Amino acid sequence: MKNIVAITSSLLLSASVASAAIPSTPAEKEKMDKFISELMSRMTLDEKLGQLNLPPSDDIVTGQTINSNIGAAVAAGQVGGTFNIKGAAKIRDLQKIAVENTRLGIPLLFGMDVIHGYETIFPIPLGLSCTWDMAAVEQSARIAAKEMSAAGVCWTFSPMVDISRDPRWGRMSEGSGEDPYLGSEVARAMVRGYQGDNLKNNDEVMACVKHFALYGASESGRDYNTVDMSRGRMYNEYFAPYKAAVDAGAGSVMSSFNLVDGIPATENKWLLDDVLRRQWNFDGFVVTDYGSIGEVAVHGLENLPDASVRSLKAGTDMDMCSFGFIGTLKQSLDEGKVSMADIDKAVRRVLEAKYRLGLFDNPYKYNDVAREKRDIYTAENRAAARAIAAKSFVLLKNEDEVLPLAKKGKIALIGPMANSAVNMPGTWSVAADAKKYKSLRQGFEDALKGKAEVLYAKGSNLYEDAALEAACEVFGHDMRDPRSEQELLDEALRVAADADVIVAAMGEASESSGESSSKTDLTLPDTQRRLLEALLATGKPVVMVNFSGRPTVMTWESENVPAILNVWFGGSEAADAIADVVFGDVNPSGKLTASMPYNVGQVPVYYNHFNTGRPKDPNDPSFQKYRSNYIDSPNEPLYPFGYGLSYTDFGYSDLRLDSSELAADGAITASVVVTNTGKRAGDEVVQFYIRDLQGSVARPVKELKHFERITLAPGESRTVEFRITPEDLKFYNYDLEFVAEPGEFQIMAGPDSRRLLTQPFTLK
């Protein structure tokens, strides 16, 4: 063993000469290649296959790593990495087995689903995107990276950049909504935040862009369902954010569960090789999603051995939990179904990731126990999370300026989400410590201490049907109140009778969205609706604070409730952040990144649709026979993409172009004047859209192309500009060439995708 360790150390030494970062010069790349070639020349086939295996880690008890199944597998050289284990010391124990108890001492990768923060948790990604604030998005990822890396984790399964236009799909909560442009901006910002200074430092982690590709278009919004899509839609819409993340340097990509053109993504050579590696020049590694290779046969294709062969040859490098690579590739090699070169290609990419992370230099780079104590859930990180959460909330309605509430008198906080700290962080909060987080009730009490009184009643359960409620409490949160609906309601009305104003904290539980949480009914559950009706019947002002992991159907509420604040799941500091907005310390500025439908029947409903040959006359609200519309519903959503109110008002005027002709190698500037016409300072997200009026293929009725968040004092005006170049007009044509076609265009500017000023221009 001593000799072996000596060999290992000498390898480590030669790696340390190279910089622990993504090689950015040819010389650095050469150094990395040489190091890895040398290492690979010493590896046996079994050791190579071990590198391609990513098993789960869930059986570790602190101090017992060596006796755990994962510990034994690591010692046997059967593991390249593992995931969802946390703790600098625990991870060090496991890393030590890899480094000291295996022949070549190759360090492990430690991954985790750090989706919107580690212990300091930020809004769910859908909420985060509603900030339209890329500095904030990047900051959230930076803080997440600092915290997770302090806890030993070097690889995050984020950003999730799947575009989705179907709120039935619970995983819409994990992405940035319906728009390719905004989604791409977010993707880039997150990769920058995670990978920081090119992975040089021990507080920077490798990003894993997922789920490649098209997962967000699961048919009928049912999770894991089939996807079938035209190439035009893929390239112009769904692919954009993945490509943006790859261009930003993301070190890894996770393939998706779904079919792409009838072939599971995990073994789709066109997707993983032609598109990802050849067209986009991706040079990181590809990991499957959980058990995807094993699911190939269930989709109706090959069994595990052949699916492993096909996945490897397609460009998959690491097998998450199917045990197909480690279990079957050896035999497939004997049978001549794969070559050593196929295996080596994948091994090299996994080793490169470890090299880029600096793990050969120092396998314990991420195991600083002192940093773990110091850097996680700090006051500074929490302050950032609170500010970002407040920016993510979307004010949907505010009749008669009910909001903000004054900090005085008696405020009744009523509803199933009012006193539930576990429901604040939202789905995919793997490292959450809910004991440290406040319920909304606590947040209100802290905000109002010495000024106003908070009265509380639960008011209702989440659902009247206990089985439905249990489906949202899969991680053991038991919110169920054994009292009858009437008892809960009576108590709520007694409490409300004593109050000056009512805040109704309602919506869905955090685990009603996220993976495996598809829904067909997006309205407020009946029991909560009955509670809301009873609260409104008191005649007192009612503010609805809606918790949701997706766009919900708020049609009845928008007609009947005076004020609605959509708060998504705001993270560990959500309670304080909601209090900040409700009581006016922060002026809301979030804007929707996904349309909120009138009803589920409209879904998918999104702003950047095609026009059809028979569009409805938008100025006539009635049903139009033989036009593209519904007998019983508007076409447009209730609240459109980009929509969100403020406690002040903004006026838009004077949309101008400095020239109405854009030369093929030129630029023109659009400008619009935005004025704060209200009485408070506020932030506004100014949005620019473009329409290509005549393309060689159909083009959307509008596409977001630029936005800017500005702060204006009352009465202040600002001219906001957008410099348009032909690059902004490019799209993938029928032959999938990225081109700008000469012709007529429109530029539009406004506060959301519906209320827009328009000017024409021509591309020469």
Binding site for ligand NOJ (CB under 6 A): 113, 157, 210, 289-290, 515
Closest approach of Cβ 743 to ligand NOJ, in Å?
41
* Joined tokens for residue 484: 């009858």
CB nearer to ligand NOJ: pick between 8 and 255: 255
Name the minimum Å distance from CB 451 to ligand NOJ.
Answer: 44
Please give the C-alpha separations between residue 14 and each of 6, 23, 36, 100, 618, in angstroms, as whole numbers. Answer: 13, 15, 11, 17, 68
Nearer to ligand NOJ among residue 113 and residue 636 (C-beta): 113
Question: In whole angstroms, how close is the CB of 289 to ligand NOJ at the nearest point?
Answer: 5
3-state secondary structure of 573: coil
Nearer to ligand NOJ, 147 or 174 (CB): 174
Residue 281: other Cβ atoms inside 10 A: 9
On whether the CB atoms of residues 531 and 367 are closer than 8 A, the answer is no
Give Cα 322 distance to the centre of its chain: 25
Angle at 702 (CA atoms; ends 700, 706), nearest 5 degrees: 130
Q: Any idea of the CA torsion for 47, 53, 56, 57, to the nearest 10 degrees?
A: 20
**Phi and psi angles of residue 413, each rounded to the nearest 5 degrees, phi first:** -105, 115
Q: Mind telling me the catalytic residues?
A: 289
Which residue, 287 or 578, has its beta carbon nearer to ligand NOJ? 287
State the nearest-atom distance from the C-beta of 113 to ligand NOJ, in Å: 5
Question: Based on CB atoms, which residue is closest to ligand NOJ, 193 or 682?
Answer: 193
Q: Is the peptide bond before 167 cis (omega within 30 degrees of 0)?
A: no
Residue number of the CB atom closest to ligand NOJ: 157
Closest CB to ligand NOJ among residues 93, 162: 162
Q: How far apart are CA 589 and CA 54, in angstroms?
A: 42
Cα–Cα distance list, 269 to 295, 309, 310, 319, 400 (Å): 17, 12, 8, 16, 58
Give the whole-angstrom CA distance, residue 452 versus residue 456.
Answer: 13
Residue 157 or 323 with smaller CB distance to ligand NOJ? 157
The answer to whether residues 296 and 302 touch, using CB atoms and an 8 Å cutoff, is yes
* Distance between CA atoms of residues 462 and 468, nearest Å: 9
Residue 680 CA to residue 581 CA, distance in Å, equals: 13
Choice between 157 and 377, CB closer to ligand NOJ: 157
* Cα–Cα dist 86/320, whole Å: 18
Is 264 or 404 the residue whose CB approaches ligand NOJ more closely? Answer: 264
Burial classification of residue 89, based on how many CB atoms lie within 10 Å of its CB (0-12 exposed, 13-18 middle, 19 or more buried): middle
In the complex, least distance from residue 79 CB atom to ligand NOJ, rounded to whole angstroms: 16
* CA distance linking residue 671 with residue 652, whole number of Å: 11
Least Å distance, CB 294 to ligand NOJ, is: 13
Q: Are 742 and 694 in contact (CB under 8 A)?
A: no
Instruction: Provide φ and ψ at 735, rounded to 5°.
Output: -90, 10
Least distance in angstroms from the C-beta of 210 to ligand NOJ? 6
Nearer to ligand NOJ, 292 or 587 (CB): 292
> Hey, is 4 helix, strand or coil?
helix
Total Cβ atoms within 10 A of residue 521: 12
> Shortest gap between Cβ of 157 and ligand NOJ (angstroms)?
4
Q: How far is the CB of 302 from ligand NOJ (least distance, A)?
A: 21
- Other CB atoms within 10 Å distance of the CB of residue 5: 15
CB of 252 to ligand NOJ, least distance (A): 11
User: DSSP strand E in 407-558: where?
Assistant: 409-414, 452-457, 501-507, 542-547
Q: In whole angstroms, how close is the CB of 270 to ligand NOJ at the nearest point?
A: 22
The one-character DSSP state at 275 is I
> Residue 284 burial (CB < 10 Å; 0-12/13-18/19+)?
buried
Residue whose CB is less far from ligand NOJ, 132 or 157: 157
How far apart, in whole angstroms, are the C-alpha atoms of residue 186 and residue 160?
A: 10
